[in-house]
Amino acid sequence: MLDPSRIPRVLEELRDTWEGQPRLSLPALFGALELRGIGWTSTDEELIQALQDLRATYPSRISQIEPGTCVRVQTDGSVVYIDHRDVITLPGGEVRPSVWHYASIDVCEVGRPLRLTTADGVNARLGVVEALNPMTIPRAGLSLNSTEGAAQPQPWFAADIDPHGVRLLIDIESEDSHPHAAPSAAETTSDRSIGDARDQARECRCMLGHDIHTWVQGRRETQHASRGWDRIGPVALNRLVIVDGRSLGRARAVWVLPQFSDLIW
């Protein structure tokens, strides 16, 4: 007879893994394990290993992040990237992404509000966590800031940018020292060109993926624009960002955001 004392350990492993993906029914979780080779002839140790492997991709909680890795946090209101130092929030739509340093991860657990303490000591709540996905930062970078730890940072090319591979978040400073007046409401809601957005202010933040989104900070509001692109020049710190033959300005900071395929099968 097998030792009955093993049962609590196996059930604990199952619970920890299931808590990382509460949206799944228990039969669906068993289906994912079956595709990993777990069947009625599998041993308890093989089951535990498969559960741990699945939990490495979908953990139920995160308390610390090592350099060279990051965690993509899906909350009920936004997507949040966290590395060992920075937090990047992507609210979606017309809301401008934000980047800031943090001092500690207070609570990062599926089903609970994401809570961090900023570098200034402010308690930040960023929505209820729905999923956690640890990832390795591309090109063996130390952080999401693409220049950290690289003696000679390599530029990002069009072939590197893919909605299923990476996206780039770029702070751009226009070379135009005399910015034009802010556009009208009708202009801000239209799909105006990114070049026009460049003219509205000296600084903007853009997200480059399958499309390009720009957020230009005005005196009273932030203007958002988006469109597709055909050609883009190399993207690197302190280089001009050229999209479809037109300069948006010079890159002051570049963050790389690895994408995650939400497939357990």
What are the tens digits of pLDDT across the range 52-104? 999 999 999 999 999 989 999 999 989 999 999 999 999 987 889 999 999 99
Q: Is the dihedral of CA 200, 224, 204, 125 positive or negative?
A: positive
Using CA atoms, how far apart are residues 94 and 77, in angstroms rounded to an integer?
13
- 165: pLDDT strictly greater than 80: no
Least confident range from 13-22, 40-49, 168-177, 221-230: namely: 168-177
| The pLDDT value given to residue 180 | 39
Q: What pLDDT does residue 137 have? A: 87
In eight-state DSSP terms, residue 33 is: H
pTM above 0.85, yes or no: no
Cα(168)–Cα(171) distance, rounded to whole angstroms? 10
Count, residues in the chain: 265
Query: pLDDT class for 160, splitting at 50, 70, 90?
Result: confident
- Spatial separation of the C-alpha atoms in residues 243 and 194, rounded to whole Å: 8
- Cβ pair 38, 51 in contact under 8 A: no
Residue 157, pLDDT score = 83
DSSP 122: -
Of residues 1 and 240, the one with the higher pLDDT is 240
Interatomic CA distance for residues 153 and 149, integer angstroms = 9
Q: Which residues contact 77 (CB under 8 A, 6 or more apart)?
A: 91, 126, 127
- Comparing 113 with 137, the larger pLDDT belongs to 113
pLDDT at 260: 76
Can you tell me whether residue 232 is helix, strand or coil? strand
Q: What is the DSSP letter of 143?
A: S
- Give start and end residues of each alpha helix (H) in 99-144: none
Residue 151 confidence class, pLDDT cut points 50, 70, 90: low
Least confident of 9-13, 30-34, 137-141, 149-153: 149-153
Contact predicate 73/65, CB 8 Å: no
Give the pLDDT band of residue 198 (cuts 50, 70, 90). Answer: very low
Q: How much is the mean pLDDT over the chain? A: 84
Measured in whole angstroms, the distance separating CA 119 from the mean position of its chain's CA atoms is 20
Query: Residue 4 class from Cβ within 10 Å (0-12 exposed, 13-18 middle, 19+ buried)?
Result: exposed
Task: Specify which of 26-40, 134-148, 165-179 reaches the highest per-range mean pLDDT.
Answer: 26-40
Determine the Cα–Cα distance for residues 69 and 20; give it in Å rounded to an integer. Answer: 19
Phi-psi bin for 203: left (phi > 0), alpha (psi -120 to 50), beta? Answer: beta
Structural element, H or E, at residue 80? strand 79-82
The residue to which tokens 């610390």 are assigned: 64
235/152 Cα distance (integer angstroms): 14
| Residue 152: predicted pLDDT | 57
235-252, pLDDT tens digit by residue? Answer: 988 899 999 999 999 999
Q: Report the pLDDT averaged over residues 133-140.
A: 85
